[in-house]
Amino acid sequence: MSGSPFPTLRQLPALTPRPMTRCECAGIEFEDVLAEVRATGATPEEVCVRTGCGQTCGACRPDFESYLRARLHVVAKPG
């Protein structure tokens, strides 16, 4: 045998992580938070506190802020 049939790490293509589109901890889509902001006039921060979006582990916060920035032209920091 000449070697393993599996590629080495150097042979694998570089993976680019996809941005998150939801808060996994709260189980809410970013688009649902945005819809509530637009429907109620509440701030993104208020909606996040109410829904729990971005309130637990915080892994979604950078992608959530980018999502809002692209759609509301503001930077909202959950919680």
> Which value, in Å, is the radius of gyration of the alpha carbons in the chain?
18
Burial category of 39 from C-beta neighbours within 10 Å (exposed 0-12, middle 13-18, buried 19 and up): exposed
What domain range is 48 assigned to?
A: 20-72
Q: What is the mean pLDDT of residues 23-28?
A: 96
Task: Judge whether 40 lies within some domain.
Answer: yes
Task: Tell me how far apart the alpha carbons of residues 73 and 3 are, in angstroms, rounded to a whole number.
Answer: 54
What is the band of 58 on the pLDDT scale with cuts at 50, 70, 90?
very high
Whether 7 shows a pLDDT value over 90: the answer reads: no
Task: Judge whether 45 lies within some domain.
Answer: yes
What is the band of 14 on the pLDDT scale with cuts at 50, 70, 90?
confident
